[in-house]
Amino acid sequence: MSNQLILNKKIVNNDWVFLLPVIEQKEVKKQAGKVVMFKVTGENFPEDDDLNKIKLPDVSKILLPLKLYLLRKDEIEKKYSEVGLWLYSHEDFQWLSNLNLDLNKFSVIGIYIEKFADGRIYSLGNLIRRKLKFKNDLRALGDILKDQLFFLDRSGFSSFLIKEGRSAEEAIKGLSDFSHSYQATLDEIPSWRKNLNG
């Protein structure tokens, strides 16, 4: 697992352990006409059973799948000094917001994408900041490259775990690909109100 973290526009030492469950591949049956959350690759994600079987590692700061936390909350809170949570990009924002979880209790919330092309991460970031008012560190996990950073940053992400094998020194430059943007996101103001227009 990669350990190259960019936080608040700096490359930092990452002391968080990111727990990504590895699970067996099962045949996925899709029902015609039914709206379900579609995953990019059709790979499985862990069921409760799988999550219950996971052995929790002995570390101090850990990033856990949200579902795992919900299942084994007491055990987890006892074991770790600091817990961060992360979501798969196909997990439903509506579901998350209906949990009425106080997200600001957690110092890190992450979103994980399996594939670079999975753009759901941007909308999820925006919603978690805007609708759930999450104030702490929002982290992009998974297939994260230089080329997403500018957009992720503008979608509310404050840290980026760069994909294994890619240089974080190179990636961090992606944050300054553009010096201006047209539209506003989150707390910014759109270019047309910046009074820079001739």
Q: Of 67, 120, 129, 139, which lies in the binding site for another protein, with binding defined by CB under 8 A?
A: 120
Count of other CB atoms within 10 angstroms of residue 184: 14
Q: Determine, following the binding rule CB under 8 A, whether residue 39 of this chain makes contact with another protein.
A: yes
Q: Of 126, 136, 137, 175, which lies in the binding site for another protein, with binding defined by CB under 8 A?
A: 126
Shortest separation between residue 46's beta carbon and another protein, angstroms: 18
Fill in the DSSP letter of residue 90. T
Q: Determine, following the binding rule CB under 8 A, whether residue 119 of this chain makes contact with another protein.
A: yes
- Point out which span in 8-16, 39-47, 61-69, 72-80 binds another protein (CB under 8 A): 39-47
In whole angstroms, give the CA distance from residue 57 to residue 85: 15
Q: Determine, following the binding rule CB under 8 A, whether residue 193 of this chain makes contact with another protein.
A: yes
Strands 108-113, 82-88: pairing is parallel
Q: Of 15, 47, 48, 147, which lies in the binding site for another protein, with binding defined by CB under 8 A?
A: 147
Q: Determine, following the binding rule CB under 8 A, whether residue 29 of this chain makes contact with another protein.
A: no
Sheet with 4-7: strands ordered across: 10-12, 4-7, 159-162, 137-142, 108-113, 82-88, 61-65, 17-18
Q: Of 68, 151, 160, 161, which lies in the binding site for another protein, with binding defined by CB under 8 A?
A: 151
Shortest separation between residue 132's beta carbon and another protein, angstroms: 13
Write the secondary structure of 150-188 as one string of H (helix), E (strand) and C (coil): HHHHHCCCCEEEECCCCCHHHHHHHHHCCCCCCCCCCCC
Q: Determine, following the binding rule CB under 8 A, whether residue 27 of this chain makes contact with another protein.
A: no
Dihedral (Cα; 139, 50, 102, 160), 10-degree rounding: 0
Q: What does the block give as tokens for 9?
A: 């526009």
Residues lying near another protein in the complex (CB under 8 A): 30, 33-35, 37-40, 42, 92-93, 116-120, 122-124, 126-127, 130, 145, 147-148, 150-155, 166, 170, 177-193, 196-198
